[in-house]
Amino acid sequence: MLTAYDYVGARLAEAAGVDAILVGDSLANVVLGLPDTRPVTVAMIAHHTRAVRRGAPATFVVADLPYLADATPDRALEAAEVLLKEAGADAVKLEGAKVEVVRALVAAGVPVMGHLGLTPQTASQLGGYRVQGKDLEAARRLLADARALEAAGVFAIVLEMVPAPLAERITAAVGVPTIGIGAGAGTDGQVLVFHDVLGLFEDFTPRFAKRYLEGAELFRAAIRAYAEDVRAGRFPGPEHASGIAPEVLAALDREV
């Protein structure tokens, strides 16, 4: 699973054969340059989901429920209606063990993905962006939350920044797939942020992310080459421009 936020990214992800795309509220950081995900709205996720759906018509698309859009079952249902019916998502993801909200969504026929461990929307209540579930009480709670989410009807659970052995135990304890991010190799699947995989976001690279490309370097070099070509008169060349019939030009020249 990979995040995507626009048409081009979704096309690339689908062509590369990812199993699912997440339109994550991480778009706050990597697309909008915001310090956290809380300002993201349903309208923003819907806007990006529409573009992703156009770029990846054949891939399972999960749209994030942004901060407070899942505060009550009614609010979550309204948001899900927009994201599934209008924007074209196949499912929604929500952070935390909000079992009542999950139950209401599932009862209404909305596929729901859970998200436990480091939940960025409430990171300030979790002591910041740090590994979760490290002591016995916290580990027990995570396991219990995963079981509760499964019982409420989620079809999968993202485990973010959870110690690998705990993620393995949660994976063994629940009957739905777990998708890890910073949770080791023992989950059923993995998810990463598009910009982290391609090396496009340089403000901060989480330790758990693997860069498969130095994208920012390559993009900068290409843009520099373009600017230098323009300044040096090397671009555009004749092959980049269109002509006009000589008689039209001659007539125009007579007028000016």
Residue nearest to ligand KIV (CB): 24
Shorter beta-carbon distance to ligand KIV: residue 64 or 168: 64
- Cα separation, 97 vs 146, in Å, equals 8
Residue 143 corresponds to which amino acid? L
Radius of gyration of the chain (CA): 23
Binding to ligand KIV by CB under 6 A, coded x per residue (else -) over 99-138, reads ----------------x-----------------------
Question: And the tokens for 112?
Answer: 């729901």
Q: Which of residues 17-36 bind ligand KIV (CB under 6 A)?
A: 22, 24-26
Q: Which of residues 47-66 bind ligand KIV (CB under 6 A)?
A: 64
Binding to ligand KIV by CB under 6 A, coded x per residue (else -) over 196-235, reads ----------------------------------------
- Cα separation, 152 vs 144, in Å, equals 12
Look at the alpha carbons of 177, 178, 184, 190 in this order and tell me if their dihedral is positive or negative.
positive
- Selected catalytic residue, list 81, 160, 239, 247: 160
| Binding test (CB under 6 A) with ligand KIV, winner from 104, 191, 197, 200 | 191
Shorter beta-carbon distance to ligand KIV: residue 23 or 104: 23
- 18 in Cβ contact with 2 (< 8 Å): yes
Question: And the tokens for 216?
Answer: 């920012």
Using rule CB under 6 A, residue 91 touches ligand KIV: no
Residue 66: name the closest of 90, 37, 91 by CA. Answer: 37
Please indicate whether residue 86 is annotated as part of the active site. Answer: no
Torsion angle of C-alpha atoms 42, 158, 57, 153, degrees rounded to 10: -80
3-class SS at 59? coil
| Binding test (CB under 6 A) with ligand KIV, winner from 3, 132, 178, 187 | 3
Active-site residue set: 160
Q: Which residues bind ligand KIV (CB under 6 A)?
A: 3, 22, 24-26, 64, 115, 158, 160, 181, 191, 193
